[in-house]
Amino acid sequence: MILAVAGGKGGVGKSTLAFELGAATGAVVVDADVGMADLPTGPGPDLHDVLAGRASAVEAVREDGPVTLLPCGRSLAGARAADVGRLGEALRDVERAYGDAVVDCPAGMRADAGVPLAVADACVVVASPRPYALADAVRTRELARELDAGLVAVAVNRAVDDPPEAVFEEVLGAPAVTVPADPRVARAVETGRPVCRVAPSSRAGRAISSLARAVDRCSRA
Amino acid sequence: MEHDCTTESVAGATLVTVRVRNEAPVPRRVRVRNELPGPVLPPRREGVPERGWDESGFEGVLDAGEERALGYACPVASEDDRPVSVASLGRDEAERAADRENEAIRALGRARPPADAVPVPGGSLARDSLPDDAGGAATSDDARRGDEADGTHVDDTHADEDASERSVSEEASDGRDRGPRPPAVASWLDAVETRVRLAERLTDATATDAAAVLETAGDVSGLPSTVDADETTLRTVAARASELADRAAETDAGPTVDSLVAL
């Protein structure tokens, strides 16, 4: 299954949750933020090379990190040469070779955010527990609906107090999972220690597991 | 399925316009196939061909009584009076499931950095403000249009050459047959011609004319000295060229070469 982790606004924690979901489900995490990648990369081919036709998607996957990852390059020239029209084929190649893929989508509403949703079987919309973030989550949800990516769950990320889950569920029409603010989650990508593995019983760890179970139920259905 | 078709030849390419009418009282699927000896360049949005177009032509569903206008380009010059073949593929109710990925790209637009923003190794983004390349306007236009898969494309011209200036240079180059010229010489001559034309327009110009030139050409402060230098170079080249032409005319290597080849 290809799962898109989307959300209109930048900085709501899409990459972090995609990383955690990859760790929790064993899926390959694809950093599809072609313009502003933020998951760790290293030497070797990356998504820019794949989208420019210089490498195959499967050879760009790194299996040596804490999470199996297809990273993305960070150069402007690479972003310019990348043809987002190749993204669908790349994601399907990864899915064929590894079974599941979690796609970290870029912010915004351009084609680089739309194509992963068009390819994906389902999506998780990440929202921040603030009123202004809800509007972006709604727009992303609409886009996902138009492009036929079913909404598995809404992740209300970095919640400090109890956010109004019911409001999110009613507006977006999918179960909401609150992921409490936890500095370990924020650092997980950097330290390479996903919270769902190093602190599975923490509130954040439990929230991520419940998100992963929702994804799992959806992929079996 | 009725159709009529017109073609127009522009700069070595053929523009084909087809009007297809479904005169039947039911929706029908139609296939329009290119018969010209070249590839189909379909209409594109965001670099992705419009729905229904592929390498060989167009396929789509026309409602009962619908007339649809289609157009594409083919990079061959052709006088063929039957550039397309139109075939009905029978009754069909609806368009087949759309390709969602391409639909997303068409509808949402690509998000890639503009070519001007991408640094190129050893290249400079700032250029001389004098238009020095007559063909350049088209190049920069192409780059803006979102060139396909060509990430290394270097936008090497200034954007402030606008359509009016371009049309002037096109008129002039179309109007005269200048015989065969090597590409490097041709582009140099074109560049010089652009500058000379600019200088001509500014010679004894009224304030209105001068303002119009300034609007299109930007900074012209270096123009007089550049045109002076152009004159010197042109005269030197002309002298050298006619000298070489005279020497070429006096040669007669034919008999010797023939006997060498016969050996």
**Chain B contact present for A218, CB below 8 A:** no
Domain coordinates in residue numbering, chain B: 2-108, 136-250
For residue B153, the model assigns a pLDDT of: 43
Contacts of A36 in chain B (CB under 8 A): none
Number of residues in chain B: 263
Closest CB to A35 among B46, B111, B119: B111
Q: Which residue of A has its CA nearest to B48?
A: A85
Backbone angles phi, psi at A103, to 5 degrees: -105, 120
Top pLDDT among A113 and B180 is at A113
Angle at B28 between CA B26 and CA B32, to 5 degrees: 150
Q: Residue A221 class from Cβ within 10 Å (0-12 exposed, 13-18 middle, 19+ buried)? A: exposed
Average pLDDT over residues B115-142: 51
What sign results for the dihedral spanned by CA atoms B187, B191, B192, B193? positive
Q: Residue B6 class from Cβ within 10 Å (0-12 exposed, 13-18 middle, 19+ buried)? A: exposed
Q: Residue A27's CB: how many other CB atoms inside 10 A?
A: 26
Rounded CA-CA distance B157/B128 in Å is: 9
Helix, strand, coil shares of chain B as percentages rounded to 5? 40, 20, 40
Q: What six digits make up the tokens of B208?
A: 């209105």
Chain A, chain B: beta-carbon pairs less than 8 Å apart: 81
**Chain B contact present for A186, CB below 8 A:** no
Rounded CA-CA distance A158/A138 in Å is: 18
Q: Which residue of A has its CA nearest to B143?
A: A80
Contacts of B117 in chain A (CB under 8 A): 76
Distance from CA of B142 to the nearest CA of A (A): 15
For residue B123, the model assigns a pLDDT of: 52
User: CB distance B104–A147 less than 8 Å?
Assistant: yes
Q: Residue A8 class from Cβ within 10 Å (0-12 exposed, 13-18 middle, 19+ buried)? A: buried
Q: Which residue of B has its CA nearest to A89?
A: B101
User: CB distance A111–B105 less than 8 Å?
Assistant: yes
For residue A99, the model assigns a pLDDT of: 93
Query: Confidence class of residue B98 from pLDDT cuts 50, 70 and 90?
Result: low
Average pLDDT over residues B126-141: 41
Distance from CA of B53 to the nearest CA of A (A): 16
Number of residues in chain A: 221
**Chain B contact present for A85, CB below 8 A:** yes
For residue B260, the model assigns a pLDDT of: 83
Distance from CA of B159 to the nearest CA of A (A): 19
Distance from CA of B31 to the nearest CA of A (A): 25
Helix (H, G, I), strand (E, B) or coil at B102: helix
For residue B179, the model assigns a pLDDT of: 65
* Full set of structural domains in chain A with CATH: 2-220 (3.40.50.300)
Residue B71 Cα distances to B17, B41, B67, angstroms: 4, 9, 13
Rounded CA-CA distance B168/B165 in Å is: 5
CATH architecture of B2-108: Sandwich (2.60)
For residue B162, the model assigns a pLDDT of: 43
User: CB distance A112–B113 less than 8 Å?
Assistant: no
- Residues B191-235: tens digit of each pLDDT: 899 888 888 888 888 888 888 877 777 777 888 888 999 999 999
Rounded CA-CA distance A80/A34 in Å is: 9
DSSP string, A71-129: -----HHHHHH--GGGHHHHHHHHHHHHS-EEEEPPSSSSHHHHHHHHH-SEEEEEE-S
Q: Which residue of B has its CA nearest to A51?
A: B149
Q: What percent of chain B clears pLDDT 90, i.e. is strictly above it?
A: 22
B119 pLDDT higher than 60:
yes
Q: What six digits make up the tokens of B47?
A: 């670099």
Top pLDDT among B171 and B91 is at B91
User: CB distance A79–B46 less than 8 Å?
Assistant: no
- The list of chain A residues with pLDDT below 70 reads 221
ipTM score of complex: 0.82
For residue A133, the model assigns a pLDDT of: 77
B33 pLDDT higher than 60:
yes
For residue B165, the model assigns a pLDDT of: 44
Query: In 3D, which of A49, A218, A202, A31 has the Cα closest to residue A116?
Result: A31
B102, B105, B116, B155: which to substitute to probe chain A, counting the most A Cβ within 10 Å? Answer: B105
Query: Confidence class of residue B10 from pLDDT cuts 50, 70 and 90?
Result: confident
Average pLDDT of chain B? 77
Closest CB to B151 among A52, A84, A113: A52
**Report for B41-45, B107-111, B161-165, B194-198: range of highest mean pLDDT:** B41-45
Average pLDDT over residues B21-46: 91
Encoded amino acid at B199, one letter: A
